[in-house]
Chains A and B, each alone.
Chain A
Amino acid sequence: MAEPLNSDLWVDQYGDMLYRYTLVRVKDPDAAEEIVQVTLLAALQAQHSFQGRSSEKSWLFGILKHKILDHFRDLKTQRTYEVTTEDGPDPLENAYLSDGHWANIPKNWDTDPLKAAENLELVEALSRCLDKLSDKLRNIFVLKEVQGLASDEICKEMKIQPTNLWVILHRARNQLRKCLETNYWDTKQ
C-alpha cells in the first residue's frame, strides 16, 4: 500500500497540472476538482500496475484522459445534442448575401496556423472564446479538437449522428473564428 506521504506528494506535485488540463476541457471548476480526485484515487489503487515504463507524470495523464472521457460520457444521458437557437447563430443564416457571397467577409489573418499556435496570447484568446460557446457546442468541439478524439469515436461515445456532429462542429468553429476576429485580430490593427 502507498505511503501516505507519497500520495500527499502527488497532490502537491501534480495536482495543479492535472487540474489545469481538466479545466480546459470541462470548464466547471467543481467538476474538474472531482475528476482530479477520482484520477488520483484510481492511480493509487493501480499503483502496483505502474512499472515505471513511462514517467509517473504521463502515467497519471493517461488515467486522467480516461476519467475526463467518463465525465463526457455521463453527460450524454443528461442532454440531447440537437442544435437549437440557444447554440448561437446558424452559420448559414445572415452570413451570406442572396447571391451566395459572404455578407461579412472573413479577414485575411495572414498567418500560418502552426505559427499562430506558438502565440500564447492567441491561445489564451481561444480559451476565452471557448468559454462563450454553449455547453453543447463546447463539449463536442473540445472532444474533437482539444482532446483529439476521432469523429466516429465521438459519435459512438456521445450517441450522435455524423451529420449532427458536423453541424455542431461547423457552428462551433464559426463562432470561435468570429470571436477571435473580434477579440484578437481587430484589436491588433
Chain B
Amino acid sequence: MKSNKLMIKFMERMIQLFRATCRDTGPLISEMMDHTLPLGKRLRVRFHLAICDVCGFYKKQLETVRALARKLGGEEGPTQKEAVLSENAKSKIKDSLKQLD
C-alpha cells in the first residue's frame, strides 16, 4: 500500500528528528551562523536544543566568540594599544609619500 509506505517514511523522519545527538548538532550550530539551514536540519537543531542544555551552552559560546571578534574588528579596536608603528617605519612611510610629490 502506497499510503502505508508514505506513513512509515514519515515516521522514520520524525524519529530522526528526535534522535539527533550532540555530535550531530554541534556542526549544525556552527553552520547555522553562516547560512540558513534547510528546514529538516533546522528542526533537528531546534528539537535537540529544546532538550539539551549543554548544546545551548555551546551555542552561546560560539555566539560569544562572534561578538568578541566583531568588537575586535572595530575601527576603535580595543586591543594591542601598545602596538604602534616604529619610528623607523614611520619615517619610511613619510619618505615614500614625499616621493609622490
CB nearest neighbor in B for A174: B30
**B5: Cβ under 8 A from any A Cβ:** no
**A106: Cβ under 8 A from any B Cβ:** yes
Contacts of A151 in B (CB 8 A): 34-35
Contacts of A58 in B (CB 8 A): 75
CB nearest neighbor in A for B20: A100
Q: Which of A12, A102, A144 contacts B54 (CB 8 A)?
A: A102
**B12: Cβ under 8 A from any A Cβ:** no
Contacts of B65 in A (CB 8 A): 126, 145, 173, 176-177, 180
| Contact call A173/B100, Cβ cutoff below 8 A | no
CB nearest neighbor in B for A116: B64
Contacts of A127 in B (CB 8 A): 72, 79-80
Convert B28-44 into 0s and 1s, putting 1 for each residue whose CB lies closer than 8 angstroms to a CB of A: 00110111000000000
- Minimum CB–CB distance from A65 to chain B (whole Å) comes to 10
- Interface size counted on chain B using CB atoms at 8 A: 49
| Contact call A109/B64, Cβ cutoff below 8 A | yes
| Contact call B85/A19, Cβ cutoff below 8 A | yes
Task: State in angstroms the CA–CA spacing of A109 and B62 once bound together.
Answer: 11
- Minimum CB–CB distance from B20 to chain A (whole Å) comes to 8
Convert B77-96 into 0s and 1s, putting 1 for each residue whose CB lies closer than 8 angstroms to a CB of A: 11111011100011011101
| Contact call B23/A165, Cβ cutoff below 8 A | no
Residues of A within 8 A of B (CB): 1-2, 4, 7-8, 10-12, 15-17, 19-21, 23-25, 33, 36-37, 40-41, 44-45, 57-58, 61, 91-92, 95-96, 99-102, 105-109, 111, 113-114, 116-118, 120, 122-124, 126-127, 130, 141, 144-148, 151, 162, 165-166, 169-170, 173-174, 176-177, 180-181
Residues of B within 8 A of A (CB): 21-24, 26-27, 30-31, 33-35, 53-55, 57-58, 60-73, 75, 77-81, 83-85, 89-90, 92-94, 96-98, 100-101
